[in-house]
Amino acid sequence: MSIRSIGIIGAGQMGNGIAHVCALAGYDVVMSDISREALDNAMGLIDRNLGRQVGRGKISPEDKDASLKRIRLTLDMTEVGPSDLIIEAATERETVKQAIFEDLLPHLKPETILTSNTSSISITRLASRTDRPEKFMGFHFMNPVPVMQLVELIRGIATDEGTFEACSGVVERLGKTSATSEDFPAFIVNRILMPMINEAVYALYEGVGSVKSIDTSMKLGANHPMGPLELADFIGLDTCLAIMNVLHDGLADTKYRPCPLLTKYVEAGWLGRKTQRGFYDYRGEAPVPTR
């Protein structure tokens, strides 16, 4: 089917970035959230990020203005229903995602494609709770969405070829590259990335190195742009823990056991940049390691 309109559920870190790139690519976008503040903050961030692209000469001021006009905000999730493609970008909790899809079902067009931006949850299981498992798949953007070039496309067991081709076409129009993953816990990127982050937390937990020495070693020794603990703070330690739990539960292998120190930071509410404290303290002029 031809995709002209895209509905986005969730105006957080991922949702606003997805709205940004979709509107810039010429799609009509409606973005929903339960919080007016979240919607307003998302539009402010999209405005600033588009402005940065203008400043770098990547887009014109006219492109920016046209993109902003293509985005409509709503607190009523049912207004997302008439979209050709819906991308769910809510919190990484399966019960929340299931509830969203169940609430949406009565308001969808028969041909609407449903997708989830989940980074780890079973697409087949999410699809099974809807009336259209053949028109459901994983549409996993990387963070930050306007910058990162990859989108993971994940077929559920029932996803049909037309749905896959339509989503592949959207990725291409966004100017990004798709990688196809099978529907196994955490897919490709996080199946590899999260155990590395978890192992870095174990190295910290066991006293192998400090926060600074671990991050410096990986940046200079492995040429990573960010150290694993710095990256964990950027992603959100709660998200990292949730993905490790999905891997551990789904694959039943002890190598995916979340580090107790990661669990402790999440219990403390030290979730990284979004709470101003994680493996670094961000409340001053420069980040300071917390261990």
The maximal CA–CA distance of the chain, rounded, in angstroms, is 56
Give CA separation, 265 vs 22, 70, 92, 239, 272, in Å. 35, 40, 18, 12, 9
The question of whether 190 is a catalytic residue gets the answer yes
Q: 32: Cβ–Cβ under 8 A, 6 or more apart, which residues? A: 7, 8, 9, 10, 11, 73, 74, 75, 76, 77, 79, 80
Of the candidates 7, 27, 13, the one whose C-alpha atom is nearest the C-alpha of residue 73 is 7
Q: Give the active site residue among 88, 92, 152, 230.
A: 152
The question of whether 140 is a catalytic residue gets the answer yes
Q: Which residue has the tokens 């609407």?
A: 112
Q: What is the DSSP letter of 74?
A: E
- Whether residue 75 contacts residue 39, with contact meaning beta carbons closer than 8 Å, is answered with yes
The question of whether 119 is a catalytic residue gets the answer yes
- Whether residue 272 contacts residue 237, with contact meaning beta carbons closer than 8 Å, is answered with yes
Nearest 10 degrees: Cα torsion 104, 124, 111, 18: 70
Q: Give the active site residue among 119, 120, 122, 178.
A: 119
**How much of the chain is in helix, strand and coil states, percent to nearest 5?**
50, 15, 35
Q: Give the active site residue among 20, 49, 120, 140.
A: 140
Residues tagged active-site = 119, 140, 152, 190
